[in-house]
Amino acid sequence: MTATPHFVPRQVLLEPDALGYPLGQELWDRFRAMGVPVAMLPPHRRIPVRRGLPARAAFLEAKRTLVVAVRRQLDFAGCRPSAHYQLPLASSCPGLCQYCYLFTTLGKRPYVRVYVNLEEILDRATALVDGRLPEETSFEGSATSDPVAIESYTGSLARAVEHFAGLPRASLRFATKYPPPRALLQARHRGRTRIRFSVNPPALVERFERGTPDLETRLRAARQAREAGYPIGFLVAPIMATEGWQDEYRQLIRSLAGSLGDHPGLTFELITHRFTARAKARIGELFPGAGLPMDEAEREFRWGQFGYGKYVYPGPLRREMGAVLEKAIAGSFPSATVLYTV
């Protein structure tokens, strides 16, 4: 794991039993050698919080803290419409996307957390696959994080890719805004892992997706993943009905086509912007004046699959957004498949 990392933490905190796993010991040694402050969490595993910090400073400190942990909950959550199950390799990420849905679930503790008991996690995935045979079972590796951002440290995705390459009737998929490191591109995937690249028009990337690579970097990474033989796709998300959105998204699709060209097997997933009341309050606290379109009067309220409500664009507008994108994709990528629009 010699790739240049996308993320260098300000501090690393280890759960005591994480050192009982090879990856935990490797991370302990590596970060100490890098000169990054490393400390052991107390037995109760609660992360110490500095008192008195302003909300944004506390948020940024948490985003720059890496927690090395053991995943104890091995009952995987569902992940529709993306996959049958989440594959929990990590949670949170170092990006500062102002619309992130994890503001709802992580709240004021968005620490970047990696799990070192990878073999136990993969064994559980195998059991779930075996329990569904002969049906195909799919896993989403980025439901609660962008694991590529920390892959140069953990190698967890590359290990998972090679694990799924050997599983019949199983597949892995993950989405990212970051270029995969070389070891991940060189992993023996046998076409059973799909890498999707999260994209948005450049103006929205610059405005709302701080701390992440620009669109051109993502497109270059997509070309590299395709050259490595991976099935690839694009996650157009979150689609926002800002002024002139129709032309901006049509131009985005033309940019993708100019960079990669049409090819069989390419997939698209289209996700319109949505937010929860909790996320809106947190975003307003951390990014005052950000300008995210979050007026409840212009939305519909819906209950989500995890038991909390969210505000989505009204049905007619969502359908229009889907139709504009699907028409643009059909014109530029006649061989591609739009998996879903939500």
In the predicted model, is pLDDT for residue 336 greater than 90? yes
From residue 298, give the alpha-carbon distance in Å to each of 135, 312, 315, 317.
41, 9, 11, 10
**Arithmetic mean of pLDDT over the chain:** 92
CB-based burial of residue 109 (10 Å sphere; 0-12 exposed, 13-18 middle, 19+ buried)?
A: middle
- Which pLDDT score, from 0 to 100, does residue 104 have? 73
Q: pTM for this one?
A: 0.92
- Which pLDDT score, from 0 to 100, does residue 150 have? 95
Q: What is the DSSP letter of 102?
A: H
Domain boundaries defined on the chain: 7-192
Q: What are 233's strand-pairing partners?
A: 196, 267
| Residue 227's pLDDT band (cuts 50, 70, 90) | very high
Q: Which CATH class is domain 7-192?
A: alpha beta
| CA gyration radius, the chain | 20
Residue tagged 């597949």 (tokens):
171
Per-residue DSSP letters for 119-163?
A: HHHHHHHHHHHHHHTTS-EEEETTSSB-GGGGHHHH-HHHHHHHH
Query: Is residue 113 helix, strand or coil?
Result: strand
Q: What is the 3-state secondary structure (H, E, C) of 210-231?
A: ECCCCHHHHHHHHHHHHHCCCC
CB atoms within 10 A of CB 180: 26
Nearest to 299 by CA among 281, 311, 310, 315: 311
pLDDT tens per residue across span 81-115? 889 999 999 999 999 999 988 887 777 788 999 99
From residue 215, give the alpha-carbon distance in Å to each of 158, 202, 222, 247, 259.
24, 6, 11, 17, 11
The helix (H) or strand (E) run that includes residue 193 is strand 193-199
Average pLDDT (250-255) is 98
Neighbouring residues of 64: CB distance < 8 A, sequence distance ≥ 6: 9, 10, 11, 94
Share of the chain above pLDDT 70, in %: 96
In the predicted model, is pLDDT for residue 264 greater than 60? yes
